[in-house]
Amino acid sequence: MVYKNEQLNEVKVFKDPVHRYVRVKDRVVWDLIATPEFQRLRRIKQLGTTYLTFHGAEHSRFNHSLGVYEIVRRMVNKIENNPNWNKEERLLALCAALLHDLGHGPFSHSFEKVFQLDHESYTRKIILGDTAVNKVLRKVGDDFPKAVAAVIEKTYKDKLVISLISSQMDADRMDYLQRDAYYTGVSYGHFDMERILRVMRPVEDQVVIKSTGMHAVEDYIMSRYQMYWQVYFHPVTRSADVILTKIFHRAKYLYLNGYRFNLKPVQLISFFKGNVCLKDYLKLDEASVYSYFQQWQEEEDVILRDLCERFMNRRLFKYIEFSPEEHIEKRAQLEHLFRKAGIDPAYYLVSDSSSDLPYDVYRKGKEERVPIYLQMPDKKLKELSEHSTIVDAITGKTRTDDKLYFPKDFIDQLEDTHLKQAIWSLLYENGCTHES
C-alpha cells in the first residue's frame, strides 16, 4: 500500500481530558507524532506564564496540537460525503492541524518580541527544512510538505481546507478555548462543540453553520470573549511576562556588552547575536530557559539576578491602570524619580497593553476576517451578526487594556521618605486605581 494511505493495524488512542480520546489510524500521522520536532512541543507550555496565575495551566503545546488534530479529524468525518469536500484533502487537513503550532518556541510571546522571531516562519522552516517531520511528509509526496505549509499559512488553493484550521471558528480556537478553560479551572470557555460540529456544512469554499445552531455559535463567541479577558490578558500573567521579557533584554544587553556570565548562556548566544539557525532554535525549550534563570539568580549583575529571582519565586510587579498616550508627562516624571531612587526605569517601569477584537465582519482596509455565515432555512447565507443580537453587540469592537508595571517592594524599601512619597503620589493620584 502506498505510504499516504497506509493504516495502522489498530487505532492508537490517546486519553485526553478535553476530547476524551484522540484517535490515530493513519501511519503518516503516527509517524509525525513520533518525530523529535513534534515531541519537543511537550516541553513548551501552551499558555506560557499563565501557570503563575492559574496554577493548573501547565499543559503543553503537544496536548493542544493533538486536540486540534482530533477536532479536524471529526470535522472531516462529518463532511466526508459532502460534494464540496475533496476527499483527497483529508490527509493534508490532518497533517496541517497536527503541525500548525510546530514552530512555537519557549514562552513564545515574550521570546519572539525580544529576539524578533516569529513562530510562523519557524513552523514553515521545520516543515520544509532538513528535519524528521519533512522526511515523513516527503514520503507522502514531493510537494506534500509545501502543501501542508501553505494550508497553515492560509495560501493553499482550497480555502475550505484552510477554514477548518484557521478562521473565526476553526479547530484551533475550538481546542484552545476548551483546553485552556479545563486546565485553568475557570468556568467560562465551555461551549457545545459537538453541536457546532453537527450543524457545520461546507458551502463552496467555506464552512457555514445551519441557522438552528446559532446559539451554540453565540456561546462560542462569548466564551472566546470571556477567555481573553479573564485568562489570556490576566494582569498578573502579564506581570510575569513583563519580567520574563526584561530578563531576556538584560541578558542580551549584558552579553553584547562583554559581561562575563558565571554560566555562559551557550544556547542563547545565537539569539543574542541575531543569527539563529534552525538547529539552535529546535534545541531550545522551556527547560533550558529555566535552567539559565535558575543559575542567573547568582549572577553578579544586580538587575539580572533580581529579575530571575522574581520570576523563579513569583515575586511579580504590581500594576496600575495607565494609558501611555494620556500620561506622557507623568511617565517622564516617574522615570526621573525612579532614576533618583537608583531603580532603572528601563527594567522596572514598564507599560503593557492588551487588546482584542472578539469577532469581526469583513471590512475594506482592515485586517481581513472571513465572517461566520449562517445557512437559513431557504439555503441563503446570512452573516452571523445580522442575525444574532448578542454577537452584533461585540462585532468590530476592539477593547484595550493599558497597565503600568513596577516593583512595589523596591519603592516600599526606599529610605528617602520624600522621594518615596513623591513616587507614590504620582502612581496613585486621581484616576489610577491601586490593585495588587
Residues near Zn ion, by CB under 5 A: 101, 172
CA proximity to 247, closest of 349, 119, 342, 114: 114
Minimum Å gap between C-beta 207 and Zn ion is 18
Nearer to Zn ion, 101 or 301 (CB): 101
Q: How many CB atoms lie within 10 A of CB 169?
A: 23
CA distance 384 to 371: 7
CA proximity to 392, closest of 243, 274, 244, 217: 217
The SS3 assignment for 191 reads: coil
Minimum Å gap between C-beta 177 and Zn ion is 11
DSSP state of 316: P
Minimum Å gap between C-beta 104 and Zn ion is 8
Minimum Å gap between C-beta 166 and Zn ion is 9
Burial group, residue 33, by CB count within 10 angstroms (0-12, 13-18, 19+): buried
The SS3 assignment for 258 reads: coil
CA distance 436 to 434: 7
Nearer to Zn ion, 172 or 180 (CB): 172
CA distances from 335 to 235, 241, 311, 423 (A): 22, 21, 23, 10
CA distances from 428 to 93, 402, 425, 432 (A): 53, 15, 5, 5
**C-alpha cell recorded at residue 353:** 497593553
Minimum Å gap between C-beta 69 and Zn ion is 11
**C-alpha cell recorded at residue 300:** 553578579
CA distance 246 to 168: 33
Nearer to Zn ion, 71 or 207 (CB): 71
**C-alpha cell recorded at residue 271:** 539569539
Burial 310-342 (b: 16+ CB within 10 A, else e): bbeeeebbbbbebeeeebeebbeebbebbeebe
Nearer to Zn ion, 101 or 352 (CB): 101
DSSP state of 264: -
CA distance 129 to 351: 38
CA distance 170 to 174: 6
The SS3 assignment for 381 reads: strand
Nearer to Zn ion, 172 or 241 (CB): 172
- Asked if residues 271 and 279 have their Cβ atoms less than 8 Å apart, the reply is no
The owner of cell 515575586 is: 315
